[in-house]
Structure 1
Amino acid sequence: MRHLAIDVGTHRFIARLEEEAAPRTCAAFLEMLPFSNQAIHSRWSGEAVWVPLGDFQTGLDYENHTSHPSRGDVLLHPGGLSETEILFAYGSSRFASKVGQLAGNHFLTVVEGADKLMDMGRTVLWKGAQWIRFTDLGER
C-alpha cells in the first residue's frame, strides 16, 4: 500500500492512499506531488480544515465520494457546484459550503498520528492558516 506524509504546521500524519476505492483521484493527486498550500479552518463543515483550490481543473468526477468524512479522512472535491478543494476532517464533519452540502472523493485515510488530529485542527482554528504539504512515502 502506498502512503503519503501530510505535514500541517508542526504536525505530521501518515495517510494511506485509497487506490482501490478511488483510483482516478489517487492517480491525479500523485501527479501533483509534492503539493503544498495553506490550510484554513472550514467555515461550514465542522471539525475540518480545507485547502481552497479555486478554479483548478482536476479532470475528475465523483468517485468514492461522501459528504460525511470520518476523523482522519481526506477528500478532494473535484469542483463544479463549488470550487475545487481538499477537505481534511479532524473530528465530526459534514462537508458543505455556502451553496449547500458537498461531496468529495475520499482518497486518503490517516493511519499514523491520529492522536494529533484534534491538536492540528485547534491550531488552524485559533492560530489561523497553516502550511500543508503532501509528499509521497511510497510503499510501506
Structure 2
Amino acid sequence: MADIHIDIAGEVFRARFETQDAPKTVARFRALLPFSDRIIHVRWSGEACWIPMGERDLSLGFENATSHPAPGHVIVYPGGMPTSLSETEILVAYGPCSFASKAGQLAGNHFLTITEKLDVLAKIGRSVLWDGAKAITFRAGS
C-alpha cells in the first residue's frame, strides 16, 4: 500500500508521505493532487531532477528541511517568500545530491519518500540528463 503513486515517463513508483515530519507540506501537496508536470535535470545539485514552479506561492515555511536528500527523497523548496533564494520547486533525488541554486546552498522540505525501485529511478534520472524532460504525475495511492 502506498500513499501516492509517481508516474515518470510511464514508470510508476510507490511512495509514502512524511506526514509526521512535514505535516503542513504534506497537506498542501495532497490538495494539489493529481499533479502533473514535466521534470528536467538539475543544474547545480547533483543527481536529481526537478519541477520548476516559478513564482507559485505554496504558502509554506520550512519543516523537515534538508540540503542533502537521499535517493528517493522528494523535497519542495517553498519559494514565495521575500527572502527566497530560488523559485518554488520540487526536487526528486536519484543519487548523491547537495541541493543548491546559482545563489548557493538551499534546503527543501522532505515530504515524500519513494519506497521502491530506486535503481529504476536512477536510470530514469540519467535519461532525463541525456535525453531531456519527461512527464511526471503524482496520484493518490491505494
TM-score normalised to the size of structure 2?
0.94
Partner of 2:126: 122
Say whether the 8 Å CA contact 1:16–1:108 is kept in structure 2: yes
Partner of 1:134: 138
Residue 106 (1) aligns with residue 110 (2): yes
Partner of 1:8: 8
What number of residue pairs does the alignment pair up?
138
Q: What CA distance in whole angstroms lies between the structure 2 residues aligned with 1:9 and 1:47?
A: 18
Q: What CA distance in whole angstroms lies between the structure 2 residues aligned with 1:12 and 1:127?
A: 19
Once the two structures are superposed, residues 35-81 of structure 1 have per-residue CA deviations (whole angstroms, 9 ceiling, x without a partner) of 01110000001000000000000000000000000000000000022
The residue matched to 1:61 in structure 2 has which SS? coil
Say whether the 8 Å CA contact 2:71–2:94 is kept in structure 1: yes
Of all paired residues, the percent bearing the same amino acid is 54
RMSD: 1.1
Q: What CA distance in whole angstroms lies between the structure 1 residues aligned with 2:115 and 2:52?
A: 24
Partner of 1:58: 58
Say whether the 8 Å CA contact 2:2–2:14 is kept in structure 1: no
Partner of 1:25: 25
Q: What CA distance in whole angstroms lies between the structure 2 residues aligned with 1:10 and 1:133?
A: 9
Structure 1 unaligned residues grouped into runs of 5+? none
The residue matched to 2:139 in structure 1 has which SS? strand
Q: What CA distance in whole angstroms lies between the structure 2 residues aligned with 1:105 and 1:61?
A: 9
Q: What CA distance in whole angstroms lies between the structure 1 residues aligned with 2:96 and 2:10?
A: 22
Once the two structures are superposed, residues 75-96 of structure 1 have per-residue CA deviations (whole angstroms, 9 ceiling, x without a partner) of 0000022100000000000000
Q: What CA distance in whole angstroms lies between the structure 1 residues aligned with 2:128 and 2:37?
A: 13
Say whether the 8 Å CA contact 1:4–1:137 is kept in structure 2: yes
Cα deviation, residue 2, structure 1: 5.6
The residue matched to 1:126 in structure 2 has which SS? helix
Amino acid paired to 1:111: T
Q: What CA distance in whole angstroms lies between the structure 2 residues aligned with 1:94 and 1:11?
A: 25
Residue 88 (1) aligns with residue 71 (2): no
